Structure 1
């Protein structure tokens, strides 16, 4: 069981469904569910680098927002991210991300994308906050 507090107007995503909380509330999750909230929900204006654009497009595909367009964006940005990889570990992270997207496992793809974002210089503290959501 997990529980967490939400603030007025906060958004969370539970198993792909976008939920908005109009007033502060405590949420208790009794069973297995994918819950994204806080920093894990990236806004469009935060997608200001190739890896961040990958994350945002993947998130949008996960919630069902024009999936075909998001997949096209992913292909374009993944090409850019892949070209910038200087080592095998970075290329392997790109492959894991691509495989997750191809299989429709967007939650796994989001986690792999955090590795790519860290390689772009996103602070480890910010990545840890996103993972904790």
Structure 2
């Protein structure tokens, strides 16, 4: 998988379209969740894209500390359904952690995890914090990596 990291202003129209299409495909259609994906925050995010044969198969968006949470954060963690068995989720998360450490100069990272993925995030040294909650009708829990 080829990893590409860009700010919002650096994204091509095709890359932006690919991102929005993938997020809609998984979060809205597959998970049957009606929510406002285009939330005005993409402009402040660092976009981590994973391509396989010119297809966007994995993605995250990352924020510096103080924007989304007090800590730096990773969100919209996603892998295209037909590509989930190849470890691309682990690759995109590792790339996101590394990008945050290098660009934002911090190792403390917070994310809002869908609860069924707790073990996935734990395998990357994230720890649950606080109680679970519903976000857009889906059970989530805050997780932090120190």
Higher relative contact order (CA 8 A, sep 6+): 1
Normalised TM-score (structure 2)? 0.30
Judging by fraction of residues, say which structure has more helix: 1
Larger Rg, first or second structure (1 or 2) = 1
Judging by fraction of residues, say which structure has more strand: 2
